Amino acid sequence: MIPRRSFVCFHRPRQTLKTLFTFPNPFQSDSISYSKQKVLRYTPEQVFNVVADVDSYKYFLPWCRDSRVYDRKGTKAKGLMIVGFPPFVERYTSDMTLIKPSLVRSIASGDKLFKELITEWKMSAVEEKCVVDFNISFQFRSSLHSKVATVFFDEVARTMVGAFERRCADLYGFRPISKKNLTPQK
């Protein structure tokens, strides 16, 4: 009997030529990301309904000047957002994936503001609560926007998550979280 042999194949990346001096590109912006997990006393459906209601963002989301969905087909949609504060007011469009009650994902497309913008909300049920995983990552096309964003970004992201939580409270009533241990539902 011939013994079986296992082979693992590794791909070796091409080596790049390193230089003695490297200079930062002043026109290139860095990618920025933020993640937050929050437990809310709402159902995943309720949280999903608030996050998926892009047309209402302009009423409760700070720095949102206008928001609307202009094309919706099944779980896919396109949205327009106008955000900012003077003198920085920008617009961008997003391709959205809406899978009720567990996922809202938005990817900015074809605009001059963002090189990349991915926003993702994942909702899952735990006891009579909802665990919300919020992730946002982006890279501006302009290094000026990037530099300004790095100064304020953490506060802006926290404010944004808080605005969605307050919107849930406005629509469904305030429901504080008890300090019991949370175990996933089956």
Is the model more confident about 87 or about 66? Answer: 66
Mean pLDDT of 35-44: 94
Is the model more confident about 186 or about 56? Answer: 56
Q: In this model, does residue 175 exceed pLDDT 70?
A: yes
Is there a domain that residue 179 lies in?
no
Is there a domain that residue 59 lies in?
yes
Is there a domain that residue 181 lies in?
no
Is there a domain that residue 71 lies in?
yes
Is there a domain that residue 114 lies in?
yes
Domain count, the chain: 1
Is there a domain that residue 3 lies in?
no
Distance CA 102, CA 44 (A): 7
Nearest to 69, CA basis, from 96, 30, 50: 96
What pLDDT, on a 0 to 100 scale, did the predictor assign at position 144? 76
Distance CA 52, CA 94 (A): 13
The position carrying tokens 């000047």 is 65
Q: In this model, does residue 4 exceed pLDDT 50?
A: no
- Neighbouring CB atoms inside 10 A of 124's CB total 15
The position carrying tokens 């809406």 is 98
CATH number for the domain spanning 130: value is 3.30.530.20
Mean pLDDT of 45-65: 96
Is there a domain that residue 164 lies in?
yes
Collapse the DSSP code of 86 into the 3-class scheme (helix H, G, I; strand E, B; otherwise coil) and give the result: coil
The pLDDT tens digits for 67-108 are: 999 899 999 999 999 988 777 788 889 999 999 999 999 999
Which domain, by its residues, includes 104?
33-172
Q: How many CA atoms lie within 13 A of 124 on its CB side?
A: 10
Is the model more confident about 149 or about 58? Answer: 58
| Burial degree of 4 (CB within 10 A; 0-12, 13-18, 19+) | exposed
Is there a domain that residue 106 lies in?
yes
DSSP letter assigned to residue 145:
H
